[in-house]
Structure 1
Amino acid sequence: MTQNPAGTVLEVRELTKHYGGVRAVDGVSFSIAPGELLALIGPNGAGKSTCFNIVNGQLKPDSGTVRILGRDVTGVPSRRIAHLGVGRTFQVAAVFGSMTALENVQAALIAARGSVFGFWRPATTIARDEAMALLEQTGMAGEAERPAAALAYGDVKRLELAMALAGDPRLLLMDEPTAGMAAAKRGEMIALVQKLTRSRGLAVLFTEHSMDVVFGHADRVIVLARGRLIADGTVDEVRADPRVREVYLGGTAEAAR
């Protein structure tokens, strides 16, 4: 197995994906280190969803490579990538509405371990303490016994985050983690992700339309336009980049603030 360069968790090199004559992703390269929160942004049609879905295994690239912890996972299906130290959340939170918050996290722990249990041991007794610990970390311990369907939307997103952490991932992929949330709740959610990124040494790649979330919390930002990577830097560097202002942020420095 190829050694992991300088502790890099995710390394993407020269990804390309064509749809007919359109290059949805065109030679995109970037990497993420442990403890780093990286935002992937761009205007509609920029190729960010295609790029994100190649990384998470939903799409196969036409060329290029994706390495996670030094292992080439290019084209590996998402269900297998999930067992390689990768957690995932979705734009529309994926939880079991009829189950309690605690049961949802227990189910995620069981799935992550591939656990097998008999009829004499109900699933609700498995990994209860660990599930409660994850709910505590995401601020959801007080809602443990409530059905997911009865939770406020922001709490559902926190629950999904707890479930994504069940496999003790090294890399967390988050598709618009604050979508559908009010401004105050968006800030709380991404601050929680930032805290977990630091405390767990996670590498996090997230897509996001809300610029207050991106510029308020990301360690680094990469920007796509027409399938190509046009900027990769700190929040301040990306805000000041004239190409970013032109294609995404309204054409002025003020629009990037």
Structure 2
Amino acid sequence: MTAPVLKVSALTKRYGGVQALDGVSFAIAPGELLALIGPNGAGKSTCFNIVNGQLRPDSGHVRLIGSGTAGRDITGLAPRRIARLGVGRTFQVATVFGSMTALENVQMALIAARGQVFGLWRPARDLARQEALDLLEQTGMAAQAGRPAASLAYGDVKRLELAMALAGEPRLLLMDEPTAGMSAGERHDMIALVRQLTRVRGLAVLFTEHSMDVVFGHADRVVVLARGRLIADGSVEAVRDDPAVREVYLGGIPVGGRNER
């Protein structure tokens, strides 16, 4: 069995009288696209933000496993330190520099990942140019390289953010609502691209998503939370047919039968 890249163990988090997470555990392997889903208030955002370092759990651990980080406990580390250990991140609302071109955005991400920001001895436009072009090619953005990010269509901005997240050569990629705000066609194109990159690069991808057509059309595995507890962890087929998931998550409606927003 392939060793996991990330192992989450018995995470708990409480806000006053509200138990946001209650003993949540799961793992994710290289090359795996894992969806973290649940109804509003299920605890998925809390779990996601603990993995990313934006929140500290009351108890439990988050560990990175693999080359150079064998069993490294990253619980409570700052997001910047976690990123340096090989964890990339995209956000529900894409974060790019609107006045810079798509190429410049990716160049800056590469420069930052290499720690060159404060040691530039030649114009930044010359640094990592080919590597940036390669990342734009991989994410379907090569034709948009010279356009200011502010002029790009929303779907292209999300692809640009993905290229920037890949600049640090992450082993684990965290994606918060990667298809939010997209049309049905854009959603499927985006997640299909992520799936392809997952396979080619051997990435582990953990993503949250409200669109069930995306989750059940593309994920390798699904983790379901409800009221802070993990109620299902398995293949798309197993989770779709799980009575507890249908009842708690979709009120008895077969999973995949509608989108939850």
- Whole-angstrom distance in 1 between the partners of 2:211 and 2:204: 20
- Give, in angstroms, the shift of residue 195 of structure 1: 0.2
- The corresponding residue for 1:25 is 21
Uncovered stretches (5+) of structure 2, i.e. residues with no partner: 66-70
Structure 1 residues 254 and 38: CA distance shift in structure 2, 3 A:
closer
Would you identify which runs of 4 or more consecutive aligned residues in structure 1 move more than 2 Å?
Answer: 116-120, 252-257
The one-character-per-residue Cα deviations of 1:62-103 (angstroms, maximum 9, x if unpaired) are: 000000122100000111101000000000001000000000
TM-score by length of 1: 0.96
Matched, 1:58 2:54: yes
- Contact 2:62–2:74, Cα closer than 8 Å, also in 1: yes
Cα distance in 2 for partners of 1:155, 1:16 equals: 37
Deviation at residue 117 of structure 1 after TM alignment: 6.2
Q: How far apart are the structure 2 equivalents of 1:123 and 1:102?
A: 11
Assess if the C-alpha contact under 8 Å between 2:216 and 2:236 holds in 1.
Answer: yes
Q: 1:87 to 1:255 in 2, by over 3 A?
A: closer
- The C-alpha deviation readout for 1:179-226, integer Å capped at 9, x for no partner, is 000000000000000000000000000000000000000000000000
Measured on the aligned residues, the alpha-carbon RMSD in Å equals 1.4
Partner of 1:122: 123
Secondary structure of 2:185's counterpart equals helix
For 1:253 and 1:118, locate their aligned partners in 2 and report how far apart those are by CA, in whole Å: 56
Q: Which runs of 5+ in 1 are unaligned?
A: none
**CA–CA distance in structure 1, aligned partners of residues 119 and 49 of structure 2:** 36
Q: Partner of 1:204 in structure 2?
A: 205
Deviation at 1:249, TM superposition (A): 2.1
- Separation in 1, partners of 2:256, 2:141: 36
User: Which moves more between the two structures, 118-127 or 186-195?
Assistant: 118-127
Q: Is the 8 A contact 2:241 2:255 kept in 1?
A: no
Give the conservation status (yes or no) of the 8 Å contact 1:194–1:217: yes
Q: Secondary structure at the match of 2:8?
A: strand
The 5 A counterparts of 1:25-174 are 25-69=21-65, 70-116=71-117, 121-174=122-175
**2:254 alignment partner in structure 1:** 253
